[in-house]
Every structure is written in C-alpha cells, then in structure tokens.
Structure 1
Amino acid sequence: MSVVARQGIKYSIIGYLGFLLGTFSAIFIFPYDMEFYGKLRYILPTAEMIVPIVVFGLSFSNVKFFSKVNADGKHHNMLSLSLLAIFINFAVFIGAYFLLNYLFPSLKESRLWEMKRLILPLVLVLALSSVFNKFLTNYKRIVVPNIFENFVPKIANLGAFCLFFFMGFAEKSAYGFFFMMFVISLLGYGFYTNRLEKIKPDFNLDYFKKDRFYSEVLTYSLFGFLGNIGNYIAIRIDNFMIGEYISFEENGIYSNIFSIISIIVVPQMGLFNISAPIINKVLASGDYDELDRFHKKTSLSLFFLGLVLFCCIVVGFPYLADFMKNGEDLRSAEPVLWILGFAMLFDLATGFNGHIISLSKFYKFNIVVMLILAVLTISLNMIFLTYTDLGILGIAVAYAISLSLFNIIKIVFNYIKFKVFPLGIEMMYALILGFLSINVAILLPDFELNILNLFYKPTVVLILLFVGNYFLKIYPLDKFLNRNFIKSLFKF
C-alpha cells in the first residue's frame, strides 16, 4: 500500500475518532457547566480568527514553492524565515492591538481584553503550528498533523473542563492545561518535522533576494492570507460574537447544539479526498458534461446521507436532551438545531462547488467570495444582535443566510463558467420524503420511558426513508447494501 493510501486511511480514522470524541463530550460532559464550556469555546475560535493575520499566508507559500526551494536545497531556509516572520508579525500585531486599546479605551471592556493573557500567547503558538502543519504535507504526512490540528483541541477542551468542573481546579489551572496542550502540540510538530528530516536553521536572505523571488512569495502569501482570513472569520465569528455580546453560557449552548447537528456533515469528511483527483482530471480534460454528472452524483450522495442523519437527529433530540445535564436549556434552543441543520443540508446539496473553483484557473474567485462571506456574516450578526432580541437564534439565522448566499454565488459562478449544476429533482423528492418521515414519527404516540422513544422514533424515520427510497428510486442504496460492497469494506 502506498504512503498516500496509508496516510489517507489513517487520516480518516483519526478524523472520525476526533469527531466522535467531540460529539460524546458535547452530549455527556460539557452540558454540566455551559458557562465554562462557553468560555473555552470563546477562547480558541477567537485566537483562530487572529492567526491568519499573524501567519499572513506564509504557511501556504511553504507548500506552493516547496518543489522549487527543495530542488535548490533551500526548503529549510524558507521554513526558518517563515517562522521568524511569524514572530515579527506577532510583535507588530501586539503593538497595534495595545495601541488601539490605548486610543479607544472602550475596547478594554471587551472579553478579548479580559482574556488577552491567554488568547494572545495562544495565537503565537497556533501561528507557528500552522506553518509546521503545511510544511509537513510536502512529505505526504497528514496523519500526525491531523492529530495535532483536530484531536488535540478536543483533548484540550475536555481536559480543561474536567479539571475545572469534576476535579475542582481553579479556572486559571484549567486554562493552563488548555494552553499547554497546544504548546505540546507545537513541540510535537517540531519533533516530528525534525524526525522526518533534520531541521537546519538558515536565516540568510540572499536566496530570496535573487531575481526578487521574495516578491513572488509575498504576492502568493497575500492571496493565501485574504482567502484564509475570510474563511476563519466566517467559520469562527459565531462563538466570538455570542461570547462578546450575549453570554458565555449561551455560547456553550450554541456550541453544544452546533456539535450535535454537525454529525450530518460526517459523510463529507472523506469524500473530497476521493473526489479531488477526479475533479482535477475532468477540469484538465475540459469534459464539463462529465463534470456536471459527477457533481450531481456526489451532491446527491452528500445530501441524501446528510438528510437521513438530520431526520434522525431532529426526531430524537427532544428525548436525548432529557438524558443530558441542563437538557431543558438545550430544549429551549431547539429552533437553533433546525436552522443550523437546514443551512448545513443546503451546503451538502451544493456539493463541491468551492473545490471545483479552487482546482480551476478561477481559484482567485474563491478568495473574493470568502471575503464577501466574512463581511456578510459579521454584518448579519451585528444586525441580529443590535436590532432583535433573538439571541443565539439570531446568530443561527445569520449563519444560515450567509452560508446559503455563499453557496448560491458559487452555484451561479460554476454554472456560468462550467455549465455544471449540483441540484436535481431527486433532492426535492428526498426532502419531501424526509419531512413526511419526521411528521409521522412526531405524531406517533410516546412511550413512558424516554429511552424507548430515543431509539424507536429515529428507527421509524429510517424505515420510512428506506422504504420510500426503494419505491421512488431517489438514491441507489442497493449498490451499497449488497454483499460484495460490504465485503469490500473489510479488504485493503
């Protein structure tokens, strides 16, 4: 088995284990203290929004130009200068941040200022880690970086929460553990990189001055920065806004619900790794009819599987909440679950819109759209926070609107440029079938024991969906439920 195949399998396993750990924690651990969990979910997303400013796209340049600098024996020179640039950028950012707070004293009333001693050092650690993370992909090593990037934050959240709530440690001690997990992750990055190839620090600038190579690197880094900061702001802004303008407790509730409903995007986790080479090949050949067929096929797969999970979750959630600590708070926020779920379903239905653009010659358009999404998300959040009393429901609506408009823009762009369209009539049939299944399950009588309701109602939904799909022929499940396919899952 090739390195790529082994790394791909291990990457998927780590990804799913991390997702399961996060979901388990969201259901059974974090509800015990929503306020402290809300603080944890404020700290990391806030730091992650600042990281792109400090990194300034240098992590992407370490991938883009690796072949060239490696051929010239200067890849460690580029890594060394990138890490040095992170420290310089961080120093500049810190200076600008404190100057702004001096010029505008009202900023000192923010949660960010209150927690700056934890968040700002975390920004530096995450920025350095991001450079190592991208650098390691050049060696076709993605498993260990995936552990550091996706698994460690979940351990940090879970460990800090358990120290504070279950073991009685002070908040500062819990935050100390939280921060140290990321420091250990950074050290792990350095150790693993050095193990693959001994790091040789080289801060000489001559190589990059030759033929103004530094100009090419900085230009590409700028595009990477613009796309990355838009992405991070769009994804992380919710937790920042809720923690800053509503409360940490509400942030905990929102994060908990978001973790639960995010189960519906699980089918998407590994599919892009499989589809990316196919998309790239079809784009290179210019066979847009084949691209359209493949786009519709993958979009339907993602949507149908996501819809099945969504229907089961919304039917079972009221009974699941009864088994969760502070479940009544989650029940009161149930509309958030539906709104986030619909937004994610539409995102799944649009398939790999963004990836088609990214892999084409129009990749810069993604940067423009991502920046538009970031501005739109911030604006909608402020509107709902300022002019309504919807609280986290308003944040969820803002998220749904901005994500949906983001996908619509990409659908229109892809249709104009490539004549591809992800949506099909089968999705409408599936949606109607899903709503009928949900309504039947809701109307069925409840047992006195909620544990029975938790399992029997989602089971009814599954049966109705599979029976309806059998007659309507929406999705070819028979191809995946036959004996040969199941056997193939257990073969390497």
Structure 2
Amino acid sequence: MGIVINQSFKNTITTYLGFGLGAINTLFLYTEFMSDTYYGLVAYILSTANIMMPLMAFGVHNTIIKFYSTFKTKNALNSFLTLMLFLPLALTIPIGLIGYLGYDTIVSWLTQKNSIVGNYLWYIFITALAMAYFEVFFAWVKVQMKTVFGNFMKEVFHRVGVMVLLFALYLEWLTVEQFLIGLVGVYVLRMLLMLINAFYVRLPVFRFNKIDKLSSILKYSSLIIVAGSIATMILDIDKFMLNNYIEIEKVAYYSVAVFIATVIAVPQRAMHQIMMPLTAKFINDNNREELNDLYERSSLTLYIISGFIFLLIVLNINQLYAIIPEEFSGGITVVFLISIAKLYDNLLGNNNAILFNSDYYRMVLVFGVVLAISAVILNIVLIPLYGIDGSALATLIAVLLYNTIKIIFVKKTFNMLPFTKQTLKISILLVVCVLVFYFWEFPFNAYLNIVLKSITIGIVYALLIYKLNISEDINEMFERYLKLK
C-alpha cells in the first residue's frame, strides 16, 4: 500500500484543492455572477458531455490500464499504444456525423421543456471529445505509475479556468455567450496539456504491426464503453432528465446540492488513479493475496476519510445553506440522499478496479444495463412526484442496488469482501457523531459556526479513529505527519 498511500495522499490534496475552487465557483460565483437559467444550462452541457465521454473514448482509458502490463516487448507495446490513440475516432467521427445530419431532430427532442439548450449542442460534442481524449492521455501516464500531474489537471486546472472566466463575466469583459465558448476552450486546453505531459512521460512510437490478443482488446473496449457509460450515466442522468421535466434554473439548484455531496467522493477519486493500474497488475500476475489485501485496506481507508467528510457536510448543511442565495435552499434533502450514495461508493474500495480489470468485466455490463434502465424508470416516476428530491432518491436507489450487486459478485467470484470488523466500528462511530452533533450549534454567525463545529468534529473523530486503532495505514499517517511517536 506504500505507493497507493503516497500518491493517494498527494492526489487527495490536489483533489481537495480542486473541490475547494469548485465550491467557490458553484456556491458563490455562479450563483452571484450568472443567471439561474444560464447556470442551469452550464450544468446541462457538462453533465451531458460527461454522459457522452465514455462512448467517445471507446473505452480506451480503461483498456490501456487493463492490457498495458500484458505486453512484454517494445514493438508489441508500441503497436498497442498506437491503436489506443486512434481507436476513439472509430466512434467520435460517426457520432459527429449523426449529430450533423440529425441536428434538427435532436434539437426538437431536447428542447421540449427548455428551448435554450438547442443552441449549444455542438458545445456538448466538443466538450465530450476533449474529456474523452483527456482520459486517454491520463491513462497513458497512469500505467507509468505517474498520476499526480494528471490528477491536478483533472481536478484543479479547469476549475481555475472557470473561475477566471466567471470573474471576466462579472467585470463585463465577456458576454455570457463568450463565457460559454471559453468554458469549452478550457476543456480543450486541458486535453492538449495532458497530451504534452503524456508524450513527455512516454513518447509514442507509431507502429501498425499485428497485435496479439487484438480480438480480446476490441471486445473489451466495446463492452467497457457501455459499462463505463452506464457508470457515468447513473451519476449524470438525473441532471439530463431534469431538463425534460422542470425549469432549467432548478437544474442549477440541484447541481449545487449534488456538488456539495460529491465532495465525499474526493478520496475515492484520488485513490482510484493509482489503484486502477495496481489492481490490474495484481490480477494479471494472479496475485490474489495482494489483491485481497488491497481490497480490504482501500475500503477501510476510504470509509474512514469519506466518513469524516460525510460528517462535515451533514452536520453543517443548515449553516451552509444559510450563506448562499435563498432560492438554492430547497436542495438540502438532495444533499442528504446523494451524500449517502457517495459514502457507499467509497465503502467499495477498489471494487470497480477489480471488476473492470478482470475477466468478468462483461458482468459489469449486464448489471449496469439493468440498473441504468432502473435509474431511468425511477427518474421518470419520481421526478414528477417529488421534483429534484425525486431525482436524488432515484439516484440513491440505483447506486445502492448497483453497488450491492457488485459486492456480491466479487464475493462469489473472488471470495473477497471489502468489509472487516473495523468497518462496523466506523459505522457505529458515524451514527454516534451524527446523533451528538446534528442539533448542536455554536451561537455565532454561519461562517464562524461552520469553522468551530468542523474543528470540534475533526478533533473528536480523529482522536477516536487513532485511539481505537481502526486502521494501520491511517494511524501511520497520523504518526508520520503529526509526529505522534
């Protein structure tokens, strides 16, 4: 776990920096500098681009990680990487042609409730393309066990770019239309900088020789497209579908609530960058002992860290909504529901990495298709009944089902579970902290209340985690950085 903890720690700092910037953008700058309608439009563009990204990447970012360590000669490896660079074009070009030829039909379908989105479909396509190739180039360096720069670009760069654009909009240096063009430009620039870094780490040598296991590679890429699309869709289908049922400004309210809850996903996102190639290596080497150890330790570590973030969000949520515009306050229930979903995601550890890099990746597709259909049906039923709360509930149910099935499947196929007796201890600790701190507030303004309450929760939680010796890895980090021994 040494390299995992080391790079994950650096990636966690970077990711939190990114989310801190994102919080400023989401909670304050967007809400003050842009109308609710255009904020909802931005959320719709980015969510739809995220849904399209796995499809346009042709699953290459996962394929590189799964197969890279199986090639033992330079010629074979160069031929494989050459294929990976050009394979996304096999779907990107047809998708572009379909968009061009069927533009009017697509516009009429997507603008039934909000006509404004019809003018920005090509923004979605270009952003999705930039996101897709960014992930390809990031995977290119992940297999070299170098994730820190890529994680900085993934989590921080575009948020700094958006912040600059928002201030330019506020100062009237840009119009809203120019802001949206600049937003797309930020994602394109991020992709180009990742390309430069990837080729600096490992310069491509173009080879078009016959590739061993080509059939397996193409089959994996094709199936992982759908699996990856489903995993992304479950997270973003809510905002996409809300556009067809409610006013687009309410999509902005929902996006703010989801962003607050998504902070819980930071540790998983940070650790995932290095767990993917390590998991693939253990599976390719048939090293079950190391794989099982990584499974349990990653779950425990992520549960402890994400549990702390869960407490900070849930126990400060009322004060947090007191400092942002009042019209956004209807999203408190959304925060609770999505927070639970994100906490469960972290509890799975490297479960996704095991499934995506094993011979059982086809089952992810089967599970995903069923659950994606369930998510769509749940949104169709629950959004008209409960609005944005219904969409959050639909997402929570879909995530609970999807994750539970994946845990059961890994247990049956690998005879591994991520849970230990320490998992139960953390769960009890989280419940006790919620019961003790939720109704307790300092008699100060919201900002000071959040700071003081967060410090108090942090001290109590960290002290209990350390004294109970729940995780060797966490205790080692405490001792190393806080000089406790």
TM range (shorter): 0.7 to 0.9
In structure 2, the residue matched to 1:263 is 263
1:236 equivalenced with 2:240 (yes/no):
no
Q: For each residue in 1:124-178, what CA deviation from the matched residue of structure 2 results, as whole angstroms up to 9, or x when unmatched?
A: 4444444444445455554444344333432343334333345363211111111
Q: Secondary structure at the match of 2:323?
A: coil
Which aligned pairs between 1:203-352 and structure 2 lie closer than 5 A? Answer: 207=209, 215-272=215-272, 277=278, 281=282, 284-287=286-289, 295-324=295-324, 326=325, 328-352=326-350
- Indicate conservation of the 8 Å contact 2:356/2:364, yes or no: yes
In structure 1, the residue matched to 2:19 is 19
In structure 1, the residue matched to 2:120 is 115
Q: Secondary structure at the match of 2:315?
A: helix
In structure 1, the residue matched to 2:430 is 434
* Structure 1 residue 409: Cα displacement: 0.4
Once residues 271 and 101 of structure 1 are traced to their aligned partners in structure 2, the CA distance between those partners, rounded to angstroms, is 38
User: Relative to structure 1, is the Cα distance of residues 127 and 110 closer, same or farther in structure 2, using a 3 angstrom cutoff?
Assistant: farther
What is the aligned-residue identity percentage? 22
- Indicate conservation of the 8 Å contact 2:303/2:347, yes or no: yes
Once residues 484 and 281 of structure 2 are traced to their aligned partners in structure 1, the CA distance between those partners, rounded to angstroms, is 26
* Structure 1 residue 403: Cα displacement: 0.6
In structure 2, the residue matched to 1:52 is 54
User: 47-56 vs 464-473, which deviates more?
Assistant: 464-473
Once residues 345 and 192 of structure 1 are traced to their aligned partners in structure 2, the CA distance between those partners, rounded to angstroms, is 33
User: Relative to structure 1, is the Cα distance of residues 123 and 442 closer, same or farther in structure 2, using a 3 angstrom cutoff?
Assistant: closer
- Indicate conservation of the 8 Å contact 1:414/1:421, yes or no: yes
1:158 equivalenced with 2:160 (yes/no):
no
Q: For each residue in 1:279-310, what CA deviation from the matched residue of structure 2 results, as whole angstroms up to 9, or x when unmatched?
A: 964882444xx866764454333223322322
**Normalising by the residue count of structure 1, what TM-score does the alignment of the two structures yield?**
0.80
Q: Which amino acid aligns with 2:383?
A: L
Once residues 297 and 13 of structure 1 are traced to their aligned partners in structure 2, the CA distance between those partners, rounded to angstroms, is 20
* Structure 1 residue 408: Cα displacement: 0.9
* Structure 1 residue 222: Cα displacement: 0.9
Alignment match of 2:75 (pick from 71, 78, 83):
71
User: Relative to structure 1, is the Cα distance of residues 23 and 129 closer, same or farther in structure 2, using a 3 angstrom cutoff?
Assistant: same
* Structure 1 residue 234: Cα displacement: 1.7
Q: Which amino acid aligns with 1:412?
A: I
Alignment match of 1:37 (pick from 32, 36, 39):
39
* Structure 1 residue 46: Cα displacement: 0.6
Once residues 481 and 188 of structure 1 are traced to their aligned partners in structure 2, the CA distance between those partners, rounded to angstroms, is 32
Once residues 302 and 380 of structure 2 are traced to their aligned partners in structure 1, the CA distance between those partners, rounded to angstroms, is 32
User: Relative to structure 1, is the Cα distance of residues 458 and 137 closer, same or farther in structure 2, using a 3 angstrom cutoff?
Assistant: closer
Once residues 88 and 69 of structure 1 are traced to their aligned partners in structure 2, the CA distance between those partners, rounded to angstroms, is 32
Once residues 62 and 218 of structure 2 are traced to their aligned partners in structure 1, the CA distance between those partners, rounded to angstroms, is 11
* Structure 1 residue 425: Cα displacement: 5.4
Q: Secondary structure at the match of 2:243?
A: helix
User: Relative to structure 1, is the Cα distance of residues 69 and 145 closer, same or farther in structure 2, using a 3 angstrom cutoff?
Assistant: farther
1:409 equivalenced with 2:411 (yes/no):
no
Q: For each residue in 1:167-211, what CA deviation from the matched residue of structure 2 results, as whole angstroms up to 9, or x when unmatched?
A: 363211111111222232343344445555666778x7xx45x99
- Indicate conservation of the 8 Å contact 1:63/1:137, yes or no: yes
Q: For each residue in 1:341-388, what CA deviation from the matched residue of structure 2 results, as whole angstroms up to 9, or x when unmatched?
A: 1222222233333233334432332232233332222221122124x1
- Indicate conservation of the 8 Å contact 1:377/1:402, yes or no: yes
Tell me the C-alpha RMSD between the 2 structures.
4.0
Q: Secondary structure at the match of 2:418?
A: coil
- Indicate conservation of the 8 Å contact 1:227/1:367, yes or no: yes
User: 217-226 vs 458-467, which deviates more?
Assistant: 458-467
Once residues 480 and 302 of structure 2 are traced to their aligned partners in structure 1, the CA distance between those partners, rounded to angstroms, is 22
Q: Secondary structure at the match of 1:109?
A: coil
Once residues 110 and 27 of structure 2 are traced to their aligned partners in structure 1, the CA distance between those partners, rounded to angstroms, is 35
Once residues 381 and 429 of structure 2 are traced to their aligned partners in structure 1, the CA distance between those partners, rounded to angstroms, is 35
Q: Which amino acid aligns with 1:177?
A: G
**Normalising by the residue count of structure 2, what TM-score does the alignment of the two structures yield?**
0.81
- Indicate conservation of the 8 Å contact 2:22/2:159, yes or no: yes
* Structure 1 residue 224: Cα displacement: 2.5
Q: How many residues align?
A: 475
In structure 1, the residue matched to 2:446 is 450
Q: Which amino acid aligns with 1:71?
A: N
Q: For each residue in 1:95-149, what CA deviation from the matched residue of structure 2 results, as whole angstroms up to 9, or x when unmatched?
A: 56437549xx555536553421322333344444444444454555544443443
Q: Return 5+ residue gaps in structure 2 as ranges.
A: none
- Indicate conservation of the 8 Å contact 1:298/1:351, yes or no: yes
Q: Secondary structure at the match of 2:174?
A: coil
Alignment match of 1:172 (pick from 174, 177, 182):
177
Q: Return 5+ residue gaps in structure 1 as ranges.
A: none
* Structure 1 residue 473: Cα displacement: 6.6
